[in-house]
Amino acid sequence: MTGQRDSRHDVLFEPVRIGPLTTRNRFWQVPHCTGMGYRHPRSEARHRGIKAEGGWGVVSTQETEIHPTSDITPANEARLWSDADIPALRLVTDAIHEHGSLAAIQLVHNGLHSANRYSRAIPLAPSHAVLDCDDPVQARGMDTADIRAFREWHRAAARRAREAGFDIIYAYAGHDMSLLQHFLLARHNHRTDEYGGSLVNRIRLFREVIEDTREAIGDTCALAVRMAVDELMGPDGLQHDAEARDIIEALADLPDVWDVNLSGWSNDSQTARFSDEGFQEKYTAFVKSVTSKPVVGVGRYTTPDAMVRAIRSGHLDFIGAARPSIADPFLPSKIERGEVDDIRECIGCNICVSGDNTCVPMRCTQNPTIGEEWRRGWHPEIIPSLETPESCLIIGGGPAGLEAARAARQRAMDVTLAEASSIWGGRVTREAGLPGLATWARVRDWRLWRLQNMPNTELYLKSPLTAEDVLDYGIAHVCIATGAKWRRDGVGRVHRRPLDFPDPDRVLTPDDILLHGPSAIKTSGPVVIFDDDRFYMGGLIAEQLARAGHDVAIVTPAATVSPWSEHTLEHDRIQRRLIELGVGIVPLHQIDRMDDGTLSLACIYTGRTRTVPCATLVSVTSRLPDDGLWSDLVTRREDWADAGLKSVNRIGDCLAPGLIAVAVQSGHAWARHVDLPEEPLPLREDIAALS
């Protein structure tokens, strides 16, 4: 899989001067949250160090709170409240410098985004305002003494960041989560003094903090400014062809580098369902025309040709990335070595984002080692070979089975992979056919490509196996990855017992739609989707059927459609799309009964019923493991040893249905630990801190 770098990609490996520093290439891992932060400093350091090892010329940590009045607990970002925070961040810079990359830090005061639940400080904002979270708390408008104090907090944090070893210090005005941006925005800044009113006045604090930061970091560090250039709100927010342009023109040459993007976070980190590679270019392309300083930009770039185009067109000097660097920390190295086909491309699902939004170490659908670098010692490119390689039989070619086979072969095991159907990929292949999810097929394609290029690997389609077959083959390690099926009986979070559907032919599941598309609907009349899964599936099926011309309504016991998609930053876009497609939305209801042509619903709070027309019901509730083969083998456990079987395990949805990311990690963990009697416990930093 090694090759020679394509000369067209040479531009990506040119060094670039930023202030007093020179980067080793044009790859810039922009600040992004990991869910590890100040509570898991060793995990954070190891994660960033692997990015540097993978070739990212600049590696940034996540946003770093500068003061107790910027406390966003329970979110777990970085902190520089005092000198006591320096050692944890020194772990990060040491890990990055070990591989020759520059370390960057994004200093932040979150202003009216800070509820200060831990510090209990009164939140601060340009003007008196309610917070932008659900806490029944208001921020007080800052007086001039507060502004002077804030400037000193920022200076002190910049000095501490330099002491911690960071090479690049950010001043941050983005994502509608920064006090500096709040001062820039007329909707937040209602002041009438020299810091409010006109744009010149609203820029004043931003200018002062940039100048303060320059003074604090001296002439050995570079100064970066990260700013949103559009909020996709029209005149109600920053626009790239209006005030945002004016701001950058006014401050054009003050920093050493501009890092530009969209605001808020759900705009900046749009999923592939709602955006394409390079989607930010039309908003950020103007920046280089108004500054002489280098520019970093993002857009979920995964292909080197798109990166080169962005550089050659004069749009960017650096390819910024968060999610692509998570899916493949070695993306730059693979391009440099001419191994472009080996890039594990981001699928744009935002499962990584959900980690930060649920305040836990993030995970990735494509890269099962993310978040496990320190606590399990997992490396994204290296798995130690078995001392005595053995053979394995993996049954099921979905995401869990494909990853298990790939990782097992990396450990020098002889691999036989058997799939009962005529296609590889399992649920990934089926779900990639839903609107906007085509990139999800990358989970299948990357693993299948690797397996097809590995020796001692046998791949079989149309190969259903019985327990007798497995015993007859006598392969040492058996891994069952046969997936799961959606339930047809309505059992889920609300209905814990099967529902009585008098006409089951009118009841479909997502499996029916995934296999046959809209043609699965055999009856004319309204379609009702009962969504108790609460993530993406119900809304996507509603969208697909509505686009096919069906009269669709979606009923959910939740307050909104797809509520868990808040964690993947898709929630608002999902609601908007369904409404625009004319999908009826009935929240806060469960199924009471199904009659001929109607569905009776009950309010989850009062029990009061209402009736909606329903010719076909699509039940999106929960899934059952397809574990018949496992059960058959368990009944013959006494025959395992005689047949030469050393281990038999279930992985992925066959063990317990969940996210695709969980299935992939399940397959990876099985291969990592196949030679051990049981899976080892991960290291814990809370215990390490007390030891």
CA distances in angstroms from 174 to 7, 227, 277, 540, listed in the order given: 36, 5, 21, 30
Specify which residues 64 forms β-bridges with: 78, 107
Question: What is the three-class DSSP state of 433?
Answer: coil
* DSSP-based helix, strand, coil % in the chain, nearest 5: 35, 20, 45
Residue 498, classified by CB atoms within 10 Å of its CB into exposed (0-12), middle (13-18) or buried (19+), is exposed
- Is residue 479 among the annotated active site residues? no
- Stated as kind and residue range, the H or E segment containing 147 is helix 144-163
Strands, E assignment, 132-273: 138-141, 168-173, 222-230, 257-262
> Which is the catalytic residue, given 33, 221, 346, 349?
33
- Is residue 175 among the annotated active site residues? yes
> Which is the catalytic residue, given 268, 356, 512, 533?
268
Residue 468's φ and ψ, nearest 5 degrees, are: -65, -40
Q: What is the rounded end-to-end Cα distance, in angstroms, of the chain? A: 44
Query: What CA–CA distance (Å, rounded) separates 674 from 657?
Result: 21
Reference 373, options 16, 34, 144, 115; nearest CA is: 34
Query: What CA–CA distance (Å, rounded) separates 31 from 574?
Result: 26
Name 273's Cβ contacts closer than 8 Å, sequence gap at least 6.
348, 435, 436, 437, 536, 570, 573
Query: What CA–CA distance (Å, rounded) separates 93 from 44?
Result: 10
Reference 354, options 72, 562, 533, 567; nearest CA is: 567
Reference 392, options 457, 340, 455, 341; nearest CA is: 457
Reference 334, options 314, 362, 304, 305; nearest CA is: 304
> Which is the catalytic residue, given 175, 495, 550, 589?
175
Q: Is the dihedral of CA 213, 217, 220, 226 positive or negative?
A: negative
Reference 569, options 273, 371, 284; nearest CA is: 273
Query: What CA–CA distance (Å, rounded) separates 621 from 160?
Result: 50
Pairing of strands 527-531, 552-555: parallel
Query: What CA–CA distance (Å, rounded) separates 290 from 253?
Result: 9
Name 96's Cβ contacts closer than 8 Å, sequence gap at least 6.
48, 49, 51, 52, 59, 102, 103
Query: What CA–CA distance (Å, rounded) separates 224 from 210?
Result: 9
Amino acid at residue number 254: L
The 10 Å Cβ neighbour count of residue 286 is: 18
DSSP codes, 33-82: --S-GGG-HHHHHHHHHHHHHTT-SEEEEEEEE-SGGG--TTS--EE-SS
> Which is the catalytic residue, given 32, 85, 170, 172?
172
Specify which residues 600 forms β-bridges with: 593, 611
The 10 Å Cβ neighbour count of residue 187 is: 12
Amino acid at residue number 619: S
Query: What CA–CA distance (Å, rounded) separates 236 from 234?
Result: 5
Residue 183, classified by CB atoms within 10 Å of its CB into exposed (0-12), middle (13-18) or buried (19+), is buried
Query: What CA–CA distance (Å, rounded) separates 76 from 135?
Result: 18
Name 620's Cβ contacts closer than 8 Å, sequence gap at least 6.
486, 509, 510, 529, 530, 531, 532, 533, 537, 538, 541
Catalytic residue set: 33, 172, 175, 268
